[in-house]
Amino acid sequence: MAFQPRTIAQFSEAAVTVDLDKCIAHKGCTVCIDVCPMDILDIDPQTGKAFMKRDECWYCLPCQKDCPTGAIHVAIPYLLR
């Protein structure tokens, strides 16, 4: 057998966290996902709620500011906190 290429996944703690009780993404709201310049938020198919999918946050805050229910909190990413 020849050497087989493999990928390794590394984990990061999400800087953007979502209050699942307040988030109304399951009712069709996509405000935070729409306004994120880096396009790093998505809807979790398990919960129907918004979540941070990619570790590419600019901590710019449109998601937090524009969320109609105050369900988003953006922390400064750990590396520069």
Partner 1 sequence: MSHQLDTRQSEYDIVVVGGGTAGPMAAIKAKERNPELRVLLLDKAHVKRSGAISMGMDGLNNAVVPGYATPEQYTKEITIANDGIVDQSTVYAYAKHSFTTIEQLDRWGVKFEKDANGDYAMRKVHHMGTYVLPMPEGHDVKKVLYRQLKRARVEITNRIIATRLLTAADGSVNGVMGFDSRTADFHVIRAKAVILACGAAGRLGLPASGYLMGTYENPTNAGDGYVMAYHAGAELANLECYQINPLIKDYNGPACAYVAGPLGGYTANSRGERFIECDYWSGQMMLEFYQELQGGNGPVFLKLNHLAEETIQTIETILHSNERPSRGQFHANRGTDYRHQMVEMHISEIGFCSGHSASGVHVNARAETTVAGLYAAGDMAAVPHNYMLGAFTYGWFAGHSAAERASSHDFSPVDAEQVARERARIYAPLLRDHGLPALQVEYKLRRFVNDYLQPPKVTRKYEIALDRFAEIGEDLAHLHASDAHELMRCAEASVIRDCAEMAARASLFRTESRWGLYHLRVDYPERNDAEWFCHAHLKKDESGRMSHHKRPVEPYIVPIAEQERDAYDRLRVAPKAPAEKTAATV
List residues near partner 1 by CB under 8 A. 5, 7, 34-39, 54, 56-62, 65-66, 74-77, 79-81
Task: Tell me the closest approach of the beta carbon of residue 35 to partner 1, in angstroms.
Answer: 4
Q: Which is nearer to partner 1, 69 or 76 (CB)?
A: 76
Closest distance to partner 1 from the beta carbon of 1 (Å): 16
Choice between 27 and 81, CB closer to partner 1: 81
Q: Residue 23 and residue 78: Cα distance in Å, rounded?
A: 24
Indicate the residue among 4 and 46 with the shorter CB distance to partner 1: 4
Q: Which residues pair with 18 in a beta bridge?
A: 72
Nearest distance from residue 48's CB to partner 1, in Å? 19
Burial class of residue 32 (count of CB atoms within 10 Å of its CB; 0-12, 13-18, 19+): buried
